[in-house]
Amino acid sequence: MLWAPLSEIYGRLWVYHGTNVGFILFTIACALAPSLDSLIGFRFLAGFFGSCNIANGAGSFADMMPPERRGVFLSLYVLGPICGPVIGPVIGGFLSAAEGWRWVFWLVAILAGFVAILMAVVCRETYAPVLLQRKVERLRKERGNSRLAAKDQTQDTPWAILRHGIVRPLRLLILSPVGLVCALYMAIVYGILNLLFTSISSVYIENYGFAPNISGLAYLGLGIGSFLGMTTVGATSDKYVASRAAKNGGQRRPEDRIILTPIGSLLMPAGLFIYGWTAQYKVHWIVPIIAEGIIGLGLMTVFFSTILYIVDSFTVFAASALAANGFIRAIGGGLLPLAGLTLYSSLGVGWGNSVLGFIALVIFPISLILLKYGAYLREKFPVKKL
């Protein structure tokens, strides 16, 4: 809710650099934490700064890429936030067993430091209004004309601009039904995904006798399915949008980005039912891992398609729209996993995952509503100047 508006006021680049440094410092603090209380506090601050790249990444791609090429490049970006939590437990399981849990944070800090240096060397500003304003300031000095101004330049003070920018994501949630529906939809989907992240290893340890250091390998099914979902949407979305635009006289509809979401919304509950009951009856471990792949395929199809839909719908305000979506999504992703282990201990793996499957079935109509009425809602409640 902070980094995305700041990037739309002062530009993406310096917000990235500043938050990269904050994330590295507090990750190192986690590695050196003397107590559990301090570790929790440092983790909070590391997450606070680390959220910037997740909030602003899609907005940066929207700055650089035309709509007809956006799907392919965004698929590479989404690969990180989704596949990272899958690969992480695999590496962390072996690393913590061999060197202790502190080295997990040291490794993250080393990798983050490398990426931060790489970004400092190769990244440039991409946000068009900021680039235009810098051009105006340069021309004022070169020509000695202080009256030169950017088109639609505001006369507000920097504090007023910042205050307005911070409120913008909330306004997008309140004023845009599309933004609100997508946020609630993604909150449930992301909550299910995070619940699986927190519970998969314990399921395979208890039901299949996996050792703690290899239990992270059980995440590979979810990771492979997520990768397949991402590549499927990335490979087909741009082509489908282009073909539909050709039939509509060159007019592009953001709703064409979510044509696969009904399929993904059905794959999620199907995979959850299979995963839950095969694990409950201890069918060979490969079967629930394959079911994880089905879940990942459905989840990523919904997740990535919705991200593309939000970017195409809100264009210049994409970062704020994604921040608003991420705010609600993070609530679902943070709260639902808290019930995960209790859910399984009370109902068992079979009925516990069946509950999640029924929830996924209940939200299935949202994908159809967005497909049929999304354009109407966008026209009825347009997002103009925020």
Domains of the chain, with CATH numbers? 3-148+155-378 (1.20.1250.20)
d(CA 307, CA 257): 9
Structure tokens at 273: 């039912």
pLDDT at 238 over 80: yes
Amino acid identity at 54: I
pLDDT tens string 257-268: 999 999 999 999
CA-based end-to-end distance of the chain: 15
Give the pLDDT band (50/70/90) at residue 98.
confident
pLDDT in tens, 138-172: 888 888 877 777 776 666 666 776 777 778 778 88
Using the predicted structure, report yes or no on whether residue 385 has a pLDDT greater than 70: no
DSSP letter at 255 equals G
Q: Is the pLDDT of residue 318 over 80?
A: no
On whether the CB atoms of residues 24 and 113 are closer than 8 A, the answer is yes
% of the chain beyond a pLDDT of 90 = 33
Residues constituting the chain: 386
CA distance linking residue 75 with residue 71, whole number of Å: 6
The region of weakest confidence among 24-33, 40-49, 157-166, 238-247 is 157-166
The residues near 331 (Cβ < 8 Å, ≥ 6 apart) are: 187
pLDDT at 20: 96
324 pLDDT tier (thresholds 50, 70, 90) = confident
Mean pLDDT of the chain: 86
Higher pLDDT among residues 51 and 32, named by residue: 32
Res 197: pLDDT: 78
**Cα 229 from Cα 227, distance rounded (Å):** 5
pLDDT in tens, 282-300: 999 999 999 999 999 999 8
